[in-house]
Structure 1
Amino acid sequence: MAMEPHLLRTFVTVARLGSFSAAARELGYTQSAVSQQIAVLEADLGAGLLHRRPVEPTEAGARLLEHAGPLLLRTAAARADIARLAGAPASRLVLAATPLAVTTGLAAALAATRQAHPGLELTVRVLGRPEVPAAVATGEADLGLTDGMAAPSDPLQLPDVGPLTAVAVAEQPVAVALPAGHPLAGRRGLDLADLADARWLDAPGVAVPAERLRAATGVAGFRPATRYPGTDLRGLLVLVAAGHGLAVLPQGVLDGVPGVLGAPVREPRLVHRTELVRGSLPEGPAALLARLLDPERP
């Protein structure tokens, strides 16, 4: 028997909730149906997957959980890709975007798309960087805009979640966000490696993550003095201005911010890159918006 997706989804739900009854309520099954599905999956794999008291994964179950997310994501991506061939509703458009993935031409492109499709229902969802490609792959979003730091002209490293195409739509310099009174404020260029032992803000949802800074410089350090799990840029810049730590951000978002100055990064050579993420698109609002955002397409 093949490992069927609905059985795998049931197993993941039980493991996540730690309860057969709670999983049954969430999935809309009876508790006995959930128990039967887990038993079928265990028989198929020839291994026990869940301890019953308390309900938690066995060693084999924990290993299966490592595979389950990518497997279910790929299944959903395949369904969405086939559904796109049938055509998306011309009355709606969902754009998933990371907080800083805003291009100068986005507002004009959205306006032109709405003009071409009167009555268009537009939704812009702000998601984390790993979530944007997944949302496009599974059909939760028609298009995605994601961002990150990269060497000039290098593509971003996106998760492999399905047959997606990513193209650059914008690049700009990166800078170290400093409090206005910082000794390095006003410098014309900084070497990131020289700042490895400085106080840093860990804000992976907005700024360049610490592990990415270590990888780019080849230097250990960049230890966070303050953690900021949010995605609100204004809140992050308030913390920078108050001296709670430094952050690497696109130069453009630092211009004119009270109490914060941006010192350009001289070494290593890096840019803030915004990419459009798309799957196969039938003609319609999403395809038009993709054309308008892609600088390489006529």
Structure 2
Amino acid sequence: MDPHLLRTFVAVARCGSFSRAASELGYTQSAVSQHIAALEADLGTSLVNRRPVVPTPEGQRLLEHAGPILLRLDAARAEITKMVQAPPDRLVVGLSPLAFMADIVAANHVRVLPRAEVVTGVAQGTLDLGLVDGIAAPSDPLNLPDVAPMATVGVAERPLVVVFPHDHPLARRKRINLADLADAQWIDAPESAIPLAQLRSASGTDGFRAALRYEGTHVPGLLQMAAAGHGLILLPQPMVDGLPAVPITRLVHRVELISIPSSGVSTIPTH
């Protein structure tokens, strides 16, 4: 399967238009049509309905494979390129919002990105290093997406706490099990608190439904919303100050350093 044809197919499916995909890729519309026709001939089935331009069931299934395939190809190209090129003059480090480390200020260039973009950025070579965070049992590694061979090093483990409003009946607990809060009201803040999907996975339940969604990375504002009773949030203990916060049992907030093994960059520069 030709990856150039696959990239064209992904662009058409995303844009919902042959002409918009052609503009995005720098091709003519005729070339895009030829790419789709060639891919359909290779696979022996129709992949895109023309009016409207949407994937067929077979095309939708191919899309599920296409993302990981293309990301792996990008990762392979980035790794080989780094093996043959001189080390870069600047060190570009990406980090998820809750993965900030004080030593990172010695890097030349820092980007705060969603967790998934940190992983893909390292895989594709746009980031030299990444710091990603999540919840895990003590000393257990994070469950990161398998997008490329990566070196991972645990650099921090911190207690996790649930933030309650002052008048909440559980605010004075010594500790609490995460599963006991599955039916509580939560704030869905995927980039400024622990994502609810991670809570469901860690607790083995399908609870933790959002009463409110918070899109942003401003943790002080999120804390104010939790204090006002809009919903619970789960954060690393050092980020919570002056609010009732109850530690979670048997889970920690873990930060890992990720890199491509052949990149020649394996540590965060320090002062």
Is this a same-fold pair by TM over 0.5? Answer: yes
**Root-mean-square deviation (Å):** 1.9
Q: Scaled by the length of structure 1, what TM-score is found? A: 0.84
**Which digits, 9 at most, give the CA deviation of each residue in 1:76-125, with x for residues without a partner?**
00000101101355322211110010124333xx1xx6xxxxxxxx2212
- Between the aligned partners of 2:13 and 2:251, the Cα distance in structure 1 is 41
- Between the aligned partners of 1:291 and 1:211, the Cα distance in structure 2 is 29
Structure 1 counterpart of 2:203, from 217, 234, 258: 217
Q: Which runs of 5+ in 2 are unaligned?
A: none
- Between the aligned partners of 2:131 and 2:256, the Cα distance in structure 1 is 6
- Give the partner amino acid of 1:198: A
Where do 1:103-122 residues align within 5 Å? 103-107=101-105, 110=106, 122=108
Match of 2:120 in 1: 134
**Which digits, 9 at most, give the CA deviation of each residue in 1:52-99, with x for residues without a partner?**
111111121111111110110011000001011013553222111100
Where do 1:40-189 residues align within 5 Å? 40-107=38-105, 110=106, 122-189=108-175
In structure 1, the residue corresponding to 2:169 is in which secondary structure?
Answer: coil
Quick check: 225-234 or 3-12, which moved more? 225-234
Asked if the contact 2:79/2:262 (under 8 Å) is kept, the reply is no
- Between the aligned partners of 2:230 and 2:75, the Cα distance in structure 1 is 41
In structure 2, the residue corresponding to 1:130 is in which secondary structure?
Answer: helix
In the alignment, is residue 277 of structure 1 matched against residue 263 of structure 2?
Answer: no
Where do 1:180-199 residues align within 5 Å? 180-199=166-185
Q: Which runs of 5+ in 1 are unaligned?
A: 114-121, 294-298
Match of 1:245 in 2: 231
Q: Scaled by the length of structure 2, what TM-score is found? A: 0.92
Asked if the contact 1:197/1:222 (under 8 Å) is kept, the reply is yes
- Between the aligned partners of 1:20 and 1:282, the Cα distance in structure 2 is 38
- Say how many residue pairs are matched: 270
- Between the aligned partners of 1:228 and 1:194, the Cα distance in structure 2 is 23
**Which digits, 9 at most, give the CA deviation of each residue in 1:245-298, with x for residues without a partner?**
011110000024xxx332112x3x111000000003455xx44xx1547xxxxx
Quick check: 31-40 or 189-198, which moved more? 189-198
Q: Are the structure 2 counterparts of residues 165 and 14 from structure 1 closer, same or farther at C-alpha, using a change threshold of 3 Å?
A: same
In the alignment, is residue 203 of structure 1 matched against residue 196 of structure 2?
Answer: no
